[in-house]
Amino acid sequence: MKKTALIIILLAAVAGVASAQTGRAGGSTGLGIIFGEPTGVSFKYWTSRTVAIDAAAAWSFVNGGSFQAHADILFHNFDIFKVEKGRMALYYGFGGRIKTETDTEDAHVSFRVPVGISYEFERAPFEIFIEIVPMLDLAPKTEGDIGGGLGFRYYF
């Protein structure tokens, strides 16, 4: 019983330190789901109060279907939107994507420029977001693409 109480106290202290460093409820690591183009599992890790690394493993159901993985660095501006509770930010960034077509097995390598809005709840470790992502496919041929989605993450 004493070990369990000690572990709970240590976990609460670690969560408190992470929350103090990032300014959000929960910790600095978020895991959730994104719905849209593509749809899948979303991950976000805050490196500071305004900068985060975002990634996803997701599926597209357009044009025969595909699987993709992407990662971005995101910069958040919390000064644009004033909300009474929680925090709301405009975010933007850049990153990359690897997409494999299901029917042809062609691999695409893309440069991404996500732009979105996120809201972090004041007392709950949740974030909701909506984003649009222009992309430039670099391989196998150069062409434009666009994606976007709506999602949520739980922070721990």
Give pLDDT, residue 113. 98
Residue 106 has pLDDT above 90, yes or no: no
Percent helix, percent strand, percent coil in the chain, to nearest 5: 15, 60, 25
pLDDT over 90 (residue 129): yes
Residue with tokens 């240590």: 10
Smallest Cα–Cα separation from 68: which of 26, 129, 8, 110? Answer: 110
Residue 68 in this model has a pLDDT that exceeds 80: yes
Q: Is the pLDDT of residue 135 over 80?
A: yes
Work out the pLDDT band at 103, boundaries 50, 70, 90.
Answer: confident
pLDDT confidence bin for 23, thresholds 50/70/90: low
* Closest C-alpha to 50, from 28, 26, 69: 28
48, 10, 55: which is closest to 28 by C-alpha?
48
pTM of the model: 0.82
Under the banding of pLDDT at 50, 70 and 90, the label for residue 51 is very high
In the chain the domains, ranked by start, together with CATH numbers, are 2-155 (2.40.160.20)
